[in-house]
Amino acid sequence: MRHFAPRPLILAVSIALALSGCGSNVEDQPLVMPAAPADQGAAEVVPVPAVTAFVDTIATNQRGDARYATLATNAGVRVLGGFLQIWKPLTEIVDAGVNAAAVEGFPAVVASKWTGVPNDGTPDGSVLNAAVHAANIGYVVTATANRSDAQGVQAYLDDRRGKGYSVTEGLGPLTAAWRNAAQQTTSINGVAADATSVLYNDTGNNTGVAGSANPAFGSVVELVNLVGNNASTEPAKRFYKYARPYRWSSSVQVLPALVPAKSSTPATDGGFTSGHSAEAVRDAVAMAYALPERYQEILSRGLELGESRILSGMHSPLDVLSGRILGQASAAANLADPANAAKKAAALAQAHTTLMAATGTNPDSFAAFAQSGTPANDRFADYSVNRGNYLRRSTYGFSAIAATNLTAVVPKGAEVLLETRQPYLSDAQRRVVLKTTALPSGYPVMDDAEGWGRLNLFAAADGYAAFTGNVIISMDASKAGFHAVDRWRNDISGTGKLVKQGTGLLKLAGNNSWSGGVELTAGGLQGDSVTAFGTGDVYVSGGTLVVNAPAALKLAGKFTQLSGATGTEMLLGANGQGSLSVAGTATLGGGTLRIKFASGYKPKAGDSLVVLTAGSLKGRYTSISVDGFSNVTPVYGSTTLTLNLGS
């Protein structure tokens, strides 16, 4: 674990400011230190929408109860209410194959006459947006016509195998250890030679063995199971009464091995919403909560399972997209329930203790091991591929049907979805992250009043996408995990100011453009891209600024480093990699400079390294060290700092 605190630098070369004769920027007057970037005011606060909250009413997501049979009274139906812009069900009540007695003043529910088969001459609902409906079914026709053999195998497995078992594939190098610890089993490991004799025939145990029967991992299994409480997709199916895609079009090619799984009672087998998709997302969210080191990969697997439902011909994109929405909301409601606080804590601790023991890792090495897979043995190892697939599976290419630039709202309780992934943030800060990373507005089904449809959890795991006011980040490295080191890969815009506090290390890797500046007071702040620190001033009053960009890291404003417990660390490579390029004035009031070298790059004695360029360079570092060289001569020019390497 790396703690950023004052320390002597190896091979340091002390530089006394008043005595140094190197360079040409020696000043007769005391160095005047610039002020820190201006205060940008209070950080943004994202209010809870003034509507009935899903997390408060998830228990209403029931069928067969007259009290919860309408859009207004059933949380699971209400969160998917955007579908009513596309499709008007025959009756707007949870009544497909359902009868329920009158109770507490709510009228009795009488089973609908909907048959589940479009265009069969019986009463049906009405298509309200013909273009979206046609695109929805047409997508399945195209997808199933072009389905590869590999996609067919995956679709079969994702249909018949336990969803909890399938989602663990997103754990990569930790999959085997998780399954062993959970005591998970499955009887389905390939496509059956004869699939006509059974339907859902996995005789395994899906999520594993929970509770005291599994003392090492039972709490983790319990967590995965509990997010399914009150999370059924049946009320929505029985309300919206929208047929499966193969019933809309005979051109949909259901996977042959799954033809026996087609329901013989279409009146109780609506397609909207997909139960497999919702369950996969719930399981993925719970696993990501317990094992945030694989957060994005696990969520990617959850959405992949949803897409398998389209490739199998069993569901349409809108069925699957709505499963994502309901799955996220249901998982959040159960995770946010105060009654489950102890269960969450136990699962988080148990997951890490058990999996570290199984993999021979510790808190310092576990995250690296979790990310150690390669595309050859972990199909979720490629971040860029995961990101692209996640975005595609969030909208399935539908055209917008309303304005795409509406400000995002964040549901009550949704911040719990980032609780373990960004443990150093407050709930209020996590809500801002969810807002600034939200998907655009205007797409079918996704504009629910609470904001569940627009959540982009993959992007949210990469931190803020915009700063407003003073964004104060305090990380405590002694708590390990993401408290000690985290990386934000989003492109951060806005007018706010980043203030980094605490002993942990925050890495920034986006194409950033926020304008309010940076103030580093403690710990580490690392620039992994050439525009990592935005367009404002960078002010180091404590801690260590780490330069790790693939080219010269560009500072569009001023750069100031104070004396005392401050430092700059550069990982230099060829062609200016890891150096600093300051457009304004660079003022060095002391502190340290540590030079390291990127893998494969090793200068030799006699070389000169230009490590800092600026519009104007003032002051000196108190000490400089260069790995592997004990004889280093700094040359301070009016705009550059060059290091001459001796033997």
Please state the domain extents for the chain: 13-41+468-645, 54-399
Residue 107 token pair: 């009228």
**CATH 1.20.144.10: does it fit domain 54-399?**
yes
Residues 6 or more apart from 607 whose CB is under 8 A from it?
644, 645
> pLDDT band at residue 190, thresholds of 50, 70 and 90?
confident
What was the pLDDT predicted at 342?
A: 98
- Which position has the token pair 């609780």? 419
Local structure of 271: helix, strand or coil? coil
Adjacent-strand bridge partners of 500: 473, 520
Q: Give the tens place of pLDDT for each residue, 294-342.
A: 999 999 999 999 999 999 999 999 999 999 999 999 999 999 999 999 9
Determine contact, residues 501/541, Cβ cutoff 8 Å.
Answer: no
What was the pLDDT predicted at 5?
A: 41
Nearest-angstrom CA–CA distance, 13 and 413: 53
Average pLDDT over residues 541-548: 98
Query: What is the helix (H) or strand (E) element at residue 585, kind and residue range?
Result: strand 580-589
What was the pLDDT predicted at 629?
A: 95
- Looking at this protein, which amino acid is placed at residue 574? A
User: DSSP letters along 596-617, please?
Assistant: EE-TT----TT-EEEEEEEEEE
Pick from 48-57, 75-84, 251-260, 344-353: least confident = 251-260
- Which position has the token pair 């998830």? 58
What was the pLDDT predicted at 1?
A: 44
> pLDDT band at residue 261, thresholds of 50, 70 and 90?
confident
Q: Give the tens place of pLDDT for each residue, 266-298.
A: 999 999 999 999 999 999 999 999 999 999 999
Residues 6 or more apart from 510 whose CB is under 8 A from it?
462, 488, 489, 490, 491, 492, 529, 531, 532
Residues 6 or more apart from 551 whose CB is under 8 A from it?
530, 575, 576, 577
Burial of 229 (0-12, 13-18, 19+ CB in 10 A): middle
Q: Give the tens place of pLDDT for each residue, 7-46.
A: 333 333 333 333 343 554 544 568 999 999 999 999 999 9
Pick from 68-72, 188-192, 591-595: least confident = 188-192
Query: What is the helix (H) or strand (E) element at residue 306, kind and residue range?
Result: helix 295-311
What was the pLDDT predicted at 64?
A: 97
What was the pLDDT predicted at 192?
A: 60
Distances (CA, A) of 11 to 158, 312, 623: 57, 63, 10
> pLDDT band at residue 65, thresholds of 50, 70 and 90?
very high
Q: What angle do CA 236, 96, 231 make, to 5 degrees?
A: 30
Q: Give the tens place of pLDDT for each residue, 589-637.
A: 999 999 999 999 999 999 999 999 999 999 999 999 999 999 999 999 9
Q: Is the pLDDT of residue 584 over 60?
A: yes
Share of the chain above pLDDT 70, in %: 94
Average pLDDT over residues 118-134: 97
* Segments in 337-480 forming alpha helices (H): 341-359, 366-370, 383-395, 427-436, 457-460
Share of the chain above pLDDT 90, in %: 92
Distances (CA, A) of 369 to 187, 458, 484: 29, 20, 16
Adjacent-strand bridge partners of 449: none
